[in-house]
Amino acid sequence: TQLLEQSPQFLSIQEGENLTVYCNSSSVFSSLQWYRQEPGEGPVLLVTVVTGGEVKKLKRLTFQFGDARKDSSLHITAAQPGDTGLYLCAGVSNTGKLIFGQGTTLQVKP
């Protein structure tokens, strides 16, 4: 069974701080996706990384896919209260389906 472990599970920081969320597995994934979910809503796709070592930037968010395609990280620079939410990584499994990590709940205080 392919599993994705996210850390930390909870993160509470002040506005302006930087943070990194990790998504790790012992399995290889063909791609990894990051979603953000706000209360009362479904997850919204932020980015997909496909190539080992790939780095993608989305404004203040930087996503990286590990060289071995087993892990990924999300780095947020100068976090803002609007970044508050549940961040989920999801891997495309060997059966072609999306497997989600447990999520990281981020709270950014003004």
Contact residues for another protein, defined by CB under 8 A: 30-31, 33, 35, 40-45, 48, 50, 88, 92, 95-103
Nearer to another protein (CB atom), residue 40 or residue 82: 40
Nearer to another protein (CB atom), residue 32 or residue 79: 32
Nearer to another protein (CB atom), residue 4 or residue 79: 4
Q: List the structure tokens of 22.
A: 């990790």
Sequence-ordered list of residues with C-beta below 8 angstroms from that of 24, at least 6 positions apart, any chain: 4, 5, 6, 7, 70, 71
Query: DSSP label at 51?
Result: S
Shortest distance, CB of residue 110 to another protein, whole angstroms? 26
Nearer to another protein (CB atom), residue 15 or residue 41: 41
Shortest distance, CB of residue 18 to another protein, whole angstroms? 26
Shortest distance, CB of residue 60 to another protein, whole angstroms? 21
Shortest distance, CB of residue 50 to another protein, whole angstroms? 6
CA 10/CA 13 separation, integer angstroms? 10
Residue 79 has, within 13 A of its CA and on its CB side, a CA count of 22
Q: For residue 66, which of 19, 105, 29, 104 has the smallest C-alpha distance?
A: 29
